[in-house]
């Protein structure tokens, strides 16, 4: 079965990991620092805090933003559940804003209609690797004193109006899961434009430990002393994983180029196929295509999904609207709330897309899809 996404691991990646296993630091060592600096560099020059997953990065981001009970977080339903659940678990109320009909990205006009003085964060998702409209979102967020967050699990290496992903919102979260644009096996990172917020995220992911003497509330304990001011978790990424990440980062440009080539090949072959809509791209973005989401019209998505799988093409569906998950339905969120997201979900089918996919394999996906639709 051709998967819809998978990692690309080189001999250099393997050597980099093995070298760490032979060394002194398996975790919390210099390779973590080096990886965080390298992630920060591609993400607009801001501080990056590495962590164990994209889910952890979102939890850290919301915690560092001070999200808690009584706060509202506005986000898109067209995402993986963690974009919302990372704020729910801190006690916030999630307010779902509908997406644009064509891009499936959060619609700034929908956000505008939903912001209140309780809005703490406006969280967008760069669905499929295509950045959302951050200038419009930031203007709405600024009006009520909210922060913006970019769930960039799909979009590291992309840009919007000449600015790199990582510089588009107050907070940016990355995932380095194997299907994403680069991998550390499990892993993620949070980038913050404000150093104080980055420091809070760092402490949250480091059990809440404060190690800066000048901030100690107990000043006389001794040289071993560290203390906790706010509760945290252990979300630290290892040097082993960061070595893989550092090596993968050197290949990010090549990954992006290959993803762009495959997307162009799909676009050229599928643009005029009846019963299908191909993804759109705005003029002011440079995406890193993480997914290739086609829309299967005439109510045939499930049939096409099953027939593609039967023929060895591992298509996927991204995503069920978040508020359809029972955990949100149980809170009273109603179907029908975000019609564009629901219409998109009803038709969406992700075709295989990853750097090691060959042209011959892409052509096999195209031929199979055309045949199944025919
Ligand atoms: C993958 C993903 C996450 C979660 O990342 P993990 O590393 O799997 O925890 C969050 N948001 C989006 C949009 C994702 O695709």
Average pLDDT over residues 125-137: 98
Query: Two tokens at 227?
Result: 């203390």
Name the closest-CA residue to atom 3, ligand 1.
Answer: 54
The rounded distance, in Å, linking the Cα atoms of 352 and 118 is 41
User: pLDDT tens-digit profile of 35-87?
Assistant: 999 999 999 999 999 999 999 999 999 999 999 999 999 999 999 999 999 99
Detail the DSSP E strand segments found in 68-187: 72-75, 93-96, 119-125, 147-151, 159-160, 163-164, 171-175
- pLDDT tens sequence across 321-365: 999 999 999 999 999 999 999 999 999 999 999 999 999 999 999
Pairing outcome for strands 188-192 and 159-160? unpaired
Burial 319-352 (b: 16+ CB within 10 A, else e): bbbbbbeeebeeeebeeeebebbbebbebbbbbb
Q: In the chain, count of helices (H) and strands (E)?
A: 13, 15
Instruction: Give the domain range for residue 285.
Output: 252-373
In this structure, is residue 5 part of a structural domain?
no
Which of 4, 51, 82, 169 is the best mutation target for the ligand 1 pocket, counting ligand atoms within 8 Å of the beta carbon and taking the most?
A: 82
Strands lying side by side in the sheet with 163-164: 163-164, 159-160, 285-286
Residue 83 Cα to ligand 1 middle (Å): 8
- The mean predicted confidence, pLDDT, of the chain is 98
What pLDDT score was predicted for residue 22?
98
Is-catalytic flag, 180?
yes
pLDDT at 132: 98
For a ligand 1 pocket test, name from 55, 172, 288 the mutation site with the most ligand atoms within 8 angstroms of its C-beta.
55
Taking only the tens place, the pLDDT of each residue in 295-329 is 999 999 999 999 999 999 999 999 999 999 999 99
For residues 65 and 41, membership in a common domain is answered with yes
CATH of the domain at 369: 3.90.1150.10
What does the pLDDT read at residue 9? 98
For atom 2 of ligand 1, which residue has the closest CA?
153
Query: How many domains is the chain partitioned into structurally?
Result: 2
Residues 112 and 74 in one domain: yes
Give the pLDDT score at 106.
98
In this prediction the pTM is: 0.98
pLDDT at site 175: 98
For residue 231, the model assigns a pLDDT of 96
Distance (Å, rounded) from C-alpha 171 to C-alpha 62? 9
Is 146 in contact with 120 (CB distance < 8 Å)? yes
Pair (186, 106) in one structural domain: yes
- Residues 206, 85 within the same domain: yes
The domain boundary, picked from 218, 249, 280, lies at 249
């Amino acid at each position: 079965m051709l998967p819809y996404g998978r990692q690309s691991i080189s001999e250099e990646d393997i050597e980099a990991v093995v070298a760490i296993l032979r060394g002194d630091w398996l975790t919390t060592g210099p390779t973590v620092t080096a990886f965080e600096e390298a992630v920060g560099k591609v993400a607009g020059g801001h501080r990056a805090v590495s962590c164990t997953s994209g889910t952890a990065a979102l939890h850290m981001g919301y915690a560092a933003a001070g999200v808690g009970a009584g706060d509202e977080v506005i986000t898109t339903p067209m995402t993986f559940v963690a974009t919302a659940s990372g704020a729910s678990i801190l006690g916030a109320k999630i307010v779902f804003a509908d997406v644009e009909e064509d891009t499936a990205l959060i619609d700034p006009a929908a956000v505008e209609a939903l912001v209140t003085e309780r809005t703490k964060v406006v969280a967008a998702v760069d669905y499929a690797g295509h950045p959302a409209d951050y200038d419009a979102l930031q203007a709405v967020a600024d009006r009520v004193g909210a922060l913006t967050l970019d769930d960039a699990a799909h979009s590291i290496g992309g840009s919007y109006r000449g600015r790199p992903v990582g510089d588009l919102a107050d907070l940016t979260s990355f995932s380095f899961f194997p299907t994403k644009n680069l991998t550390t096996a499990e892993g993620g990172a949070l980038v913050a434009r404000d150093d104080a917020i980055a420091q809070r995220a760092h402490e949250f992911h480091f059990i809440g430990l404060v190690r800066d003497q000048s901030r100690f509330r107990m000043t006389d304990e001794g040289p071993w002393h560290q203390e906790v001011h706010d509760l945290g978790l252990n979300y630290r990424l290892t040097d082993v994983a960061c070595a893989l990440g550092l090596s993968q980062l050197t290949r990010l440009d090549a990954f992006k180029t290959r993803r762009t080539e495959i997307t162009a090949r799909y676009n050229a072959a599928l643009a005029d196929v009846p019963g299908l809509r191909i993804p759109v791209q705005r003029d002011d973005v440079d995406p890193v295509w993480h997914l290739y989401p086609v829309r299967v019209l005439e109510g045939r998505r499930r049939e096409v999904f099953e027939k593609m799988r039967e023929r060895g093409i591992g298509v996927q569906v991204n995503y069920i609207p978040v508020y359809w998950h029972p955990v949100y339905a149980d809170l009273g969120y109603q179907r029908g709330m975000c019609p564009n997201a629901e219409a998109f979900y009803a038709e969406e089918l992700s075709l295989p897309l990853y750097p090691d996919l060959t042209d011959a394999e892409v052509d096999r996906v195209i031929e199979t899809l055309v045949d199944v639709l025919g």
